[in-house]
Structure 1
Amino acid sequence: MFEKLKENKQLWLNSLSIFIVGVGLLFIYFILKNVGLITEEIHTFILLIRPVIIAFGIAYVLNRPMIFVEKKLKGISRKLFKKEITSGVSRSITILFLFLLVVGAIYVLFNSIIPPIIKNLRLLLESLPMFQDSMSYYINELGPYVQSFITQQQIDQISSFVTNLLSSAGTYALQLGTGVITNVTGFAISALTTIILSIYFLKDKEVLIDSLNKGAEVLLSEKVLSRVKQLLRDLDTVFGGFLIAQLIAALLAGICSTIILLLIGHPFAILVGLVTGVANVIPYIGPILGAILGSVLGLFSSLHLAILSLILLTIYQQLDANVIQPKLLSSSVGLNPVWVLIAILIGGHYLGMVGMIVSIPSAALAQIYLTRRYHRLKEKQQI
């Protein structure tokens, strides 16, 4: 048989192909048969390295502020002492300053924001049994016109749906918040591990990048490595700018929504502001969710408050969607506000909420590569 294989090259290639396909099918069968075990192992591994992933995320977010503060610190040193402090000293002072800010923010969160939110959630759960009666009362108050196109049965169905939804969400959020507070020891250990890793990532980022670069030089060719580095630089430029812009936009949405609702005496102002800020990562949809939630929760107090909340938050939503977000995102990712809006519309149409989130950095990355290709073609006089 081996002699035939040597004589007939085609037979050898066919045999090799059959062998590879067979091994591949066996591999697929093994994966399908043990998919539960493999999924469990992957989940366990992710839980194991979760502090590393979170630490990397924190370090990535703080990297740009660190560079900014470090430059300012060196500039101040040159002006005051006529001498620039060493990179090691400036890096250590900058990291200490940033983490004091982070610890201060966490302290404010746990002492000034979480307790009112938990109070809001408890008030919401206590008020839910009265929601159905309130809805019926408000419909009757609006008069025969409204009653002509919505029946009492429909009112009861809507009230029941909203009550169950708010009850489930409120109970889950309350359990999550109180769980974090009661499990202080485990949370503190995990947080401490993450903070230490973040500090090392920031302090030794050049050393870590150099180690990764050496490993990549061994595994990849020079041409491939060059392209990978360029891609990573582009991703950092686009995604980093997008992330910072989204954080600023979310913070503004949360604070502004809370202030608006506090000014009109909304009992759930802080809770609605938090939801609006978190949901604001979804362009357009986030502020709308905040406006709807503010209106629904306003019904627990009065119909007037619900309508006023809806009007004011909708006005802010329009300002946020058409002015604030396009301006922030266009400045951070280098896209014209018109292209930002178009990218969001296309991404949302084809991929829903996920598409709306990833559409802007994807469009910015596409713009970078198209611009480079245009300049290359122009240099070669092909266009």
Structure 2
Amino acid sequence: MRSEKINWKLLIVVTVLVILVMNLSQVVSIIQTLWGAISSLVFGAMLAFVINLIMRPIEEQLSKSKAKFIQKAKRSISLLVSIVIVIAVLAGLVWLVVPSLIDAGEVMAKVVPKYFEQGQDFFNRLFKNNPDLVDTINSFNINWKEVTDKFMGFLSSGVSGALGNAVGVVGTIVSSVVNTIIVIIFAIYVLLDKQRFVNLYHRACNLWLKPETKAQITQALNIIYGSFSSFICGQCLEAFILGSTCALGMFILHLPYPLMIGTLVGVINIIPMIGAYIGGAIGMFMVFTVSPWLSVVFLIYLCILQQFESNVIYPRVVGRSVGLPGIYVMITVVVGGSLAGVAGMFLGIPIMASVYKIVKIYFKEAEDRKQMHSKEEEEENVQPSAE
């Protein structure tokens, strides 16, 4: 009797999985330790990926120059220009948003007590036939000076506590600064030396993999790169469309802070689907400092705009940019958000787009192989006449 051949690869995989499950707590601890060691490098690689989206077209344009100096230093020049662009954009956003937020906070501190008193007077007149309820409403007297003093005291105690733990605070700040510097430096090194990593990949694949396997992996990596780069560009385009539309509508409706709130809504909208609501809440707070009625108008307008954006603009712009049907975009955002929060919503779409394209290619190749196999079988079954 012929003995059955043992699938050693499957046996090893199953054994490893069983060992990992039986020692799950130790595995999680090891993963956390490894993540702490490489997290700065991972974030640096992510930053390099984003900057490279700006750097790559600049470098391609510089490659057309005939000047020897530019040809020799094109990568350094394109990296420097890209970093300057990123810093300029961030500085512009801060310049547009932060001063208006500070002004709105100062105005809010002045107008809230007045609105509170007006609200009390309104409810007193509304329920004047119910003395008990009027007394309850009047019992909500707030000493705003006392509130301010307590808030300042809280800040003072917080500062005192921080000073009391100065070593820990300084250590945290230094650690954050060092990690940020490592992220930036590593991103710069990756961008300046990116061709070295590409060559290393090809050498490793040529050494250890078959040509067919290398071609499949390269194709998958190109799909993943295209999906992530298209997603980031699509997010920026969609945020620009939403921010511009929001600002334009606010201009038409004569609402305050149109440019600042439009910018804020557009930037925070980078968080898929729910970002505009977060920006809208901040915008409503700012409009409220000018007029409570106008804040209601702004809320209604933004809800209508957000529904249009979530159901029409976002699936079409982002879905089309990554090559993913709109229905899959909405499913991915819902599922990814429930599994991993904002990170799941943000990363889920390009990951889903990559899987969708790879599976689509696999199905197409499998169908072609099946059709070819069926055709070969039909040709073998049809025998010529022996006459």
TM-score by length of 1: 0.62
Q: Secondary structure at the match of 2:272?
A: coil
Residue 329 (structure 1) shift:
2.0
Hey, what's the Cα distance between the residues in 1 that align with 2:209 and 2:260? 52
Residue 242 (structure 1) shift:
0.9
Q: Is the 8 A contact 1:245 1:328 kept in 2?
A: yes
Hey, what's the Cα distance between the residues in 2 that align with 1:255 and 1:301? 22
Hey, what's the Cα distance between the residues in 2 that align with 1:52 and 1:286? 27
Q: 1:108 to 1:376 in 2, by over 3 A?
A: same
Q: 1:324 to 1:22 in 2, by over 3 A?
A: closer
- The amino acid of 2:81's aligned partner reads F
Residue 347 of structure 1: aligned partner: 332
Q: Is the 8 A contact 1:52 1:197 kept in 2?
A: yes
The reply on whether 1:93 has 2:83 as its aligned counterpart is: no
Which consecutive residues of structure 2, in runs of 5 or more, have no partner in the other structure? 128-135, 137-150, 160-169, 376-387
RMSD: 5.0
The reply on whether 1:277 has 2:237 as its aligned counterpart is: no
Which of 187, 190, 195 aligns to 1:201? It is: 190
Q: 1:27 to 1:289 in 2, by over 3 A?
A: closer
- The amino acid of 1:325's aligned partner reads Y
Hey, what's the Cα distance between the residues in 1 that align with 2:332 and 2:123? 42
What do residues 293-344 of structure 1 show as CA deviations (whole Å, max 9, x unaligned)?
5446644543311222113323432453355434432442234xxx32x223
Larger relative CO (CA 8 A, sep 6+): 1 or 2? 2
Q: Is the 8 A contact 1:347 1:356 kept in 2?
A: yes
Q: Secondary structure at the match of 1:281?
A: coil
Hey, what's the Cα distance between the residues in 1 that align with 2:117 and 2:230? 46
Hey, what's the Cα distance between the residues in 2 that align with 1:24 and 1:192? 38
- The amino acid of 1:243's aligned partner reads I
Residue 147 of structure 1: aligned partner: none
Q: Is the 8 A contact 2:227 2:350 kept in 1?
A: no
Q: 1:290 to 1:102 in 2, by over 3 A?
A: closer
Q: Is the 8 A contact 2:63 2:74 kept in 1?
A: yes
Residue 234 of structure 2: aligned partner: 245
Q: Is the 8 A contact 2:242 2:266 kept in 1?
A: yes
Hey, what's the Cα distance between the residues in 1 that align with 2:44 and 2:121? 50
Hey, what's the Cα distance between the residues in 1 that align with 2:361 and 2:18? 44
Equivalent residue pairs, number: 322
Larger radius of gyration: 2
Residue 265 of structure 1: aligned partner: 256
Which of 306, 309, 315 aligns to 1:320? It is: 309
Identity of aligned residues (%): 21
Residue 216 of structure 2: aligned partner: 227
TM-score by length of 2: 0.62
Q: 1:377 to 1:287 in 2, by over 3 A?
A: same
Hey, what's the Cα distance between the residues in 1 that align with 2:178 and 2:248? 35
Residue 362 of structure 1: aligned partner: 352
Hey, what's the Cα distance between the residues in 2 that align with 1:102 and 1:259? 25
Q: Is the 8 A contact 2:43 2:183 kept in 1?
A: yes
Residue 282 (structure 1) shift:
1.7
Q: Is the 8 A contact 2:332 2:352 kept in 1?
A: no
Q: 1:205 to 1:308 in 2, by over 3 A?
A: same
- The amino acid of 1:265's aligned partner reads P
Q: 1:131 to 1:271 in 2, by over 3 A?
A: farther
Q: Secondary structure at the match of 2:256?
A: coil
The reply on whether 1:374 has 2:364 as its aligned counterpart is: yes
Which consecutive residues of structure 1, in runs of 5 or more, have no partner in the other structure? 1-8, 145-152, 154-166, 176-181
Q: 1:237 to 1:85 in 2, by over 3 A?
A: same
Q: 1:21 to 1:294 in 2, by over 3 A?
A: closer
Q: Is the 8 A contact 2:332 2:349 kept in 1?
A: yes
- The amino acid of 2:85's aligned partner reads L
Residue 29 (structure 1) shift:
4.8
